[in-house]
Amino acid sequence: MNRTELINLIASKTKLTRRQFSRDEVAHVVDIMLEIFEDQLTRPDGEIRLGELGVLGVQRRVRKGESGQLRNIQTGEVMKTSRISFYIRFQATKGLKQKLKKRRAEWKYLED
């Protein structure tokens, strides 16, 4: 699902509630959420708890080497690095894991 599909789905679901939101209003809220998410995920050890879904975060791995330098903000220590890698990390809640297991039968596996 992309941003536009998400906005359309949210706008259509609000028709059932007391207050109906236009696509522009929903788009504005989604853009603000994405800005906040980006700010949180770019912080050291930043993570976002997504209600009953789980925790979203970015894990940074630093490989030691000689090509660059990285300064630890807290200690002021300078470390020589060769590469910094970023990995998206999502840790699902038990409830989401159970729902995924129930839907496993619906998934179609492709055979080579």
pLDDT tens digits for 49-68?
A: 999 999 999 988 777 766 67
Question: What pTM does this model have?
Answer: 0.65
Residues of the chain scoring pLDDT < 50: 112
Q: Are residues 30 and 64 in the same domain?
A: no
How many other C-beta atoms lie within 10 A of the C-beta of residue 7?
Answer: 20
Q: Do the Cβ atoms of 71 and 77 come closer than 8 Å? A: yes
User: How many structural domains does the chain have?
Assistant: 2
Q: Are 22 and 11 in contact (CB under 8 A)?
A: yes
38 shares its domain with 14? yes
For residues 52 and 71, is the Cβ–Cβ distance under 8 A? no
In contact, 28 and 12? CB cutoff 8 Å: no
Cβ within 8 Å of residue 97, ≥6 positions away: none
Please check whether residue 1 lies inside any domain of the structure. Answer: yes
> What pLDDT was estimated at residue 44?
79
Give me the domain span that covers residue 97.
57-104
